[in-house]
Structure 1
Amino acid sequence: MEKKLPIGISSFEKIRSEPYYYVDKTPFVAKLVEEGTYYFLSRPRRFGKSLFVDTLKQAFLGRKELFQELYLEKNWDWSVRYPVIHISFGAGNILSEEDFLLRIKRILKKNHKTLQLDWEDSSDYRASFEDLIEKAYEKYKTKVVILIDEYDKPILDRIENKELSLTLREHLKNLYGVIKDADVYLKFVFITGVSKFSKVSLFSGLNQLRDITLSKEYSTICGYTQRELEEVFREELQDKDLKLIKCWYNGYSWLGEPLYNPFDILLYLEEKKFHPYWFETGTPSFLVKLLMEKRFYLPELENLVATDSLIGSFDIDRVRPENLLFQAGYLTIKRMFSLADKILYELSYPNKEVKLALNEVLAEYFTGDTGEVPLKTRDFLLALEGNQFEKMKKVLEGLYAGIPHDWFRKNELSRYEGYYASCFYAFLCGSGLEVIPEDITNKGQIDLTVLYRERVYLFEFKVVEGEEGEGKALAQLKEKGYHKKYEGKSKEIYLIGIEFSSRERNIKGFFWEKIN
């Protein structure tokens, strides 16, 4: 092996130049190498996957100077350096098949150059990848490390275009299939992504591949724990409300300790205000459309029970909302339990940021709004503050009036009670209100409960055939005595029955009554 390997530019090196920013995750580097060879890790975007991949890269390149005072400094064999092939699809978006093929060629060519290997121009990316692995092994006389970051991003970039995403899947299958036959040359393989797509050869072709996504021992490999946050950012947090920070940004879990998204924390400390920083880095348009297409009852997002198959790998041909919601980071695991020998997962929003921002987007989409939801939110909150029920009704009428008529022509939304309830739920959650969907009492379930200051508002929904409301929703609330759950706990309790006309497709009955 030659004395010195090319190292290139390192994001890990940049982070290490500002030590307070870096949380030591190097114990996981040592653990991974000690326990296996092939690994896959799924985490949402902006969760520190790329930084961890670069940490692995610098360790295998033998850059001991970057690991001073970190765990790996004294727990790694620095006498051996390995050639590293680094493939990342993180930068930019794939626009077409041609764009994708150019990207692969560029990535492989760059790796040849970095490893000081001769490049032979070819349209056969599979052959070029095989050539890269074998030449690196021969030149440096040691086994090769392969690090693949954002392996699935080309598919996710174009997931709304099924034909193109299937084409890209086949190309990725061919590319990653090379790894299976290169075992004799490989020291270590680590692959990251957001989703676990089936039929890309990784999960069927690599028999030794260990998926550590839901391994409790690796649950904190990315992200900050509460202890890490308070220790590393102690000075910056001295005058901050830790409880509020936790409410906004903590809560992601993969069967281990709850985590903060590093992207949120770093921007919060820089900007010094609460804001959905992570959420705004993505556009969940495909997911929103999928929820609409599946007539997903949005209040279920608060407490969704899923199986392994619903949160595990999935195929482009059969994309389910539960799967995307979990893998993209909009839902997280709150607990794991079993029934009849079947492992189940209880999913919910990780934190306030996601719940508020996602529902604001959902409210805009589900009502066909063109940007006026923030104004309606303001008006509704002002009406709620003053207990002005007629104003509440007018705001909601305006909200439902925006639902595109094309949606009604394509299906029977006008008779779909859950759709109206979903719109209202998304609107309330996006407003930042404390909402309890399907609030359970000893008498049954309240459709929606809103807690505001020292008041409680209990909502019941009905779809009626006529143009005028009949008061049935309010009557049911009173008859069931749902309010008794909150007697003695709140100063004021209000019952609100909302009835929708299937003919007029809007509110036709808005009845309310104060209990105490």
Structure 2
Amino acid sequence: MSDIKGIALGIDDFKTLIEENCYYVDKSKFIEEILKDKAGVKLFTRPRRFGKTLNMSMLRYFFDIKNAEENRSLFKELYIEKSPAIKEQGKYPVIFLSMKEIQGKNYEEIIERTRAFFKLLYNEYVMLRENLNQSELQDFDEIWLGKKNIDLSTALLKLSLYLKKYYNQKVIILIDEYDVPLMSAYENGCYDEVIQFFKILYGAVLKSNSNIKMGVLTGAIRVAQAGIFSDLNNLKINTIFNEAYDEYFGLSQKEVEDILRYYGMEYTITEVKSWYDGYKFGKAEVYNPWSILNYIDNKELKAYWINTSGNVLIKNLLLLSDGVVFDDLQNLVNGNERIVFINENIAFGNNLSPNHLWELLLFSGYLTVKEKMDDKTYLVKIPNKEILTFFKEMFVSIIFRGSSNIGDMKQALQSKNINHIINILEEVVVNAMSFYDTSKKYENSYQTLLSGFMYGLNSFYQVLPNVESGYGRADIILKPRNKNWAGYIFELKRANDNDMKMEAEKALNQIEDKKYDNILKNEEIKDIIKIGLVFKGKKVESSYSYEKNDFNVKN
């Protein structure tokens, strides 16, 4: 049908979405709620790709005094059109900033990008020059022309003053992805300098500024208030735990059912739910809208959501963690929950600690709340199949420094190149063992390490750590998803002061004696490769055998 609405992939500008006749899930009641909320400054933290930018763009076009009549038509037949709040439409000058591109490798580069950003921003308001006195005009032109060596930290404050003077109406400040420059600064080692600049920038325009009607900010995480918003006493923070506004970010069950029905795909709702549902904001259970739109467009159930923000933070926290953390991550991948303690702040700089790993994973969208136990304690889990896929790949990539080893491992396993398999595992131990405690008496840390690495093989092999088989529990079994591929059994030992080669033979004999291969034989896996691995610090010794069975295997 020619009148079917388009799918707004990559469109986060509200006006473009409406004018291009794209499918829009009506979130305009958000405007009404924003107006009812009398807090001077409101901060919303949600994971990336959950509609924050689109909502901020909607606020911009609703409130902006410029092109007010033209913008009013954008809200035709939406909830807000019949709300008493419609009288506020087109009433206020608006400053809208998306901080997504304010990133850099050092403090100077971030400031330079900020300078270029403000130059473009001021160019949108060049008509203000006609109403400025000589001093104001000089300040305006210095920023507008991108002059060097000027103080940019008051650029937003000055622009709000100029707008208030020009329109004789209070100004609305909308700052989207406020935390992106701070994340970039932390990742590149210039956080302390950058935080001071943005603390002044945001604080100057938002703190006790009688010229503004309200300020609205969005971000993925809540940076510790002492670091960025300590000067704001009029700030109201809304995180994923708050019930207010819980339905305005992400898609509800009904909204997903409606959009699937519109595109004739309602029959897939069960599968869609298992892949993309599972997030909990306040009391609302929501789907990831980015993934839903991509699924409808591609008609294929797979992982679409990619959240690179925070990955450097996650890596740094993993570097500070011990083997217990990786055991917890492994349990989450296996479908279990974990109790975590959350204080809703991420403290950067020297205050970063492994305790922040769980809240960073939660706020970034890798985990979701299953149950609230008390004000600071939550039971969390991986939300759905999509995130389970990324969860495995992300941690393999972070811990093992890229996916090249995983690609080589897949080829080595399928070609039964045993020497190459052992060399790869030895390389993993050498490169990644610093994540784990090698001083423990037993082999647990090595088992956790190699099991985590092998999760990257999930598409090809089911990783079974500590699985019961025969007369005991094998350390790691790789069960192939295609029965024509070889299955693998790994028994791990720590050599201590013993002869490593002798210990490797003992490990191999243990596989044979305890019949760990039963689980693979029961699955009629015809090729079974048994490998005994012995570790001493970062040194590895091995022994292996290859058993070929006579099952009549079909694909």
The whole-number CA distance in structure 1 between the counterparts of 2:419 and 2:114 is 55
Q: Answer whether contact 1:306 1:322 (CA < 8 A) is retained.
A: yes
Q: Give deviations 1:344-375, integer Å, cap 9, x for gaps.
A: 12223222222223322433554456614135
Aligned residue-pair number: 485
1:298 aligns with 2:326: yes
How much has 1:437 moved relative to structure 2?
7.4
1:121 aligns with 2:147: no
Letter in 2 for 1:360: E
Q: Answer whether contact 2:26 2:78 (CA < 8 A) is retained.
A: yes
Q: Answer whether contact 2:339 2:380 (CA < 8 A) is retained.
A: yes
Q: Answer whether contact 1:82 1:142 (CA < 8 A) is retained.
A: yes
Show structure 2 runs of 5+ residues with no match: 1-10, 130-139, 144-149, 548-555
C-alpha RMSD over aligned residues: 4.3
How much has 1:132 moved relative to structure 2?
1.3
* Percentage of pairs with the same residue: 25
* Cross-structure match for 1:26: 28
Residues 419 and 313 from structure 1, CA distance in 2 versus in 1: closer, same or farther, beyond 3 angstroms?
same
Q: Report 1:26-65 matches (<5 A).
A: 26-37=28-39, 38-61=41-64, 62=68, 63-65=71-73
1:348 aligns with 2:374: no
Moved more, 217-226 or 230-239: 230-239
Residues 427 and 414 from structure 1, CA distance in 2 versus in 1: closer, same or farther, beyond 3 angstroms?
farther
Moved more, 35-44 or 365-374: 365-374
User: Which of these residues, 312, 337, 341, is aligned with residue 345 of structure 2?
Assistant: 312
Q: Answer whether contact 2:307 2:364 (CA < 8 A) is retained.
A: no
Q: Answer whether contact 1:359 1:430 (CA < 8 A) is retained.
A: no
The whole-number CA distance in structure 1 between the counterparts of 2:400 and 2:117 is 43
Q: Answer whether contact 1:376 1:399 (CA < 8 A) is retained.
A: yes
The whole-number CA distance in structure 1 between the counterparts of 2:421 and 2:264 is 40
Moved more, 78-87 or 316-325: 316-325
How much has 1:51 moved relative to structure 2?
0.7
How much has 1:246 moved relative to structure 2?
2.6
Letter in 2 for 1:66: L
* Cross-structure match for 1:86: 96
Q: Answer whether contact 1:363 1:423 (CA < 8 A) is retained.
A: no
The whole-number CA distance in structure 1 between the counterparts of 2:326 and 2:97 is 38
Letter in 2 for 1:90: K
The whole-number CA distance in structure 2 between the counterparts of 1:201 and 1:463 is 45
Q: Answer whether contact 2:25 2:255 (CA < 8 A) is retained.
A: yes
Letter in 1 for 2:379: E
The whole-number CA distance in structure 2 between the counterparts of 1:246 and 1:471 is 48
The whole-number CA distance in structure 1 between the counterparts of 2:198 and 2:170 is 23
Q: Answer whether contact 1:47 1:223 (CA < 8 A) is retained.
A: yes
User: Which of these residues, 164, 171, 192, is aligned with residue 166 of structure 1?
Assistant: 192
How much has 1:35 moved relative to structure 2?
2.0
Q: Secondary structure at the match of 1:191?
A: strand
Q: Secondary structure at the match of 2:201?
A: helix
How much has 1:228 moved relative to structure 2?
0.9
* Cross-structure match for 1:405: 430
Q: Give deviations 1:237-288, integer Å, cap 9, x for gaps.
A: 5276333333332222234333222222222322333443322766835523
Residues 107 and 408 from structure 1, CA distance in 2 versus in 1: closer, same or farther, beyond 3 angstroms?
closer
1:179 aligns with 2:205: yes
How high is the TM-score relative to the length of structure 2? 0.73
Letter in 2 for 1:30: E
The whole-number CA distance in structure 1 between the counterparts of 2:380 and 2:349 is 22
* Cross-structure match for 1:388: none
Letter in 1 for 2:366: Y
Q: Answer whether contact 1:436 1:450 (CA < 8 A) is retained.
A: yes
How high is the TM-score relative to the length of structure 1? 0.78
User: Which of these residues, 346, 349, 358, is aligned with residue 391 of structure 2?
Assistant: 358
The whole-number CA distance in structure 1 between the counterparts of 2:465 and 2:54 is 38
Quick check: which has more Rg, 1 or 2?
2
The whole-number CA distance in structure 2 between the counterparts of 1:178 and 1:491 is 67
Residues 92 and 180 from structure 1, CA distance in 2 versus in 1: closer, same or farther, beyond 3 angstroms?
closer
* Cross-structure match for 1:73: 81
The whole-number CA distance in structure 2 between the counterparts of 1:411 and 1:281 is 24
Q: Answer whether contact 2:278 2:285 (CA < 8 A) is retained.
A: yes
Residues 112 and 279 from structure 1, CA distance in 2 versus in 1: closer, same or farther, beyond 3 angstroms?
closer
Residues 446 and 184 from structure 1, CA distance in 2 versus in 1: closer, same or farther, beyond 3 angstroms?
farther
Letter in 2 for 1:322: W
Q: Answer whether contact 1:355 1:430 (CA < 8 A) is retained.
A: no
Show structure 1 runs of 5+ residues with no match: 1-8, 384-390
Letter in 2 for 1:13: K
Residues 446 and 252 from structure 1, CA distance in 2 versus in 1: closer, same or farther, beyond 3 angstroms?
farther
1:249 aligns with 2:285: no
Q: Give deviations 1:38-86, integer Å, cap 9, x for gaps.
A: 2111122222211111111111125321111211111154444101111
* Cross-structure match for 1:322: 358
Q: Answer whether contact 1:57 1:84 (CA < 8 A) is retained.
A: yes
The whole-number CA distance in structure 2 between the counterparts of 1:257 and 1:206 is 29
Q: Answer whether contact 2:533 2:543 (CA < 8 A) is retained.
A: yes
* Cross-structure match for 1:386: none
The whole-number CA distance in structure 2 between the counterparts of 1:223 and 1:317 is 34
Letter in 2 for 1:34: K
